[in-house]
Amino acid sequence: MVQKHYVAGFQNFVDFMKNFKADGQDINILFTGAKMDSGISWCSDCVDAAPFIDAALEKAPAESHFIHVDVGDRPTWKDMTNPFRKDTNTHLSVIPTLIRWKNPQRLEGEQCQNADLLDMFFNDED
């Protein structure tokens, strides 16, 4: 089974990744908007993509990691100086974004609702 992790905020993400040991396993990271008090993300695209991503994760290699990263509330995300936008490892311009850490694989926005693309993302070799 895929090992799942959750991180909220840029500095927590940086600290988590600095100390994270994947032992050569794939590290897949999903960046989404924070959840509101209702338990639903303020980002409607993230909400729309969630069931597709969850279904694809069911078929993902067991020896992999999935890190769900909360980029913050709407005002934090919309700030063009948001560190997730500027960091060379993440370089986000839209959420949801799904990346393979330190590799070119990347799905953005509506691509995260495409079952075929998600299957290729999680199951194709680097």
Give me the active site residues, please: 43, 46
Cα torsion for 8, 34, 111, 94, to the nearest 10°? -90
Task: Tabulate helix, strand, coil % of the chain (nearest 5).
Answer: 40, 25, 40
Structure tokens at 48: 């729309």
Amino acid identity at 50: A
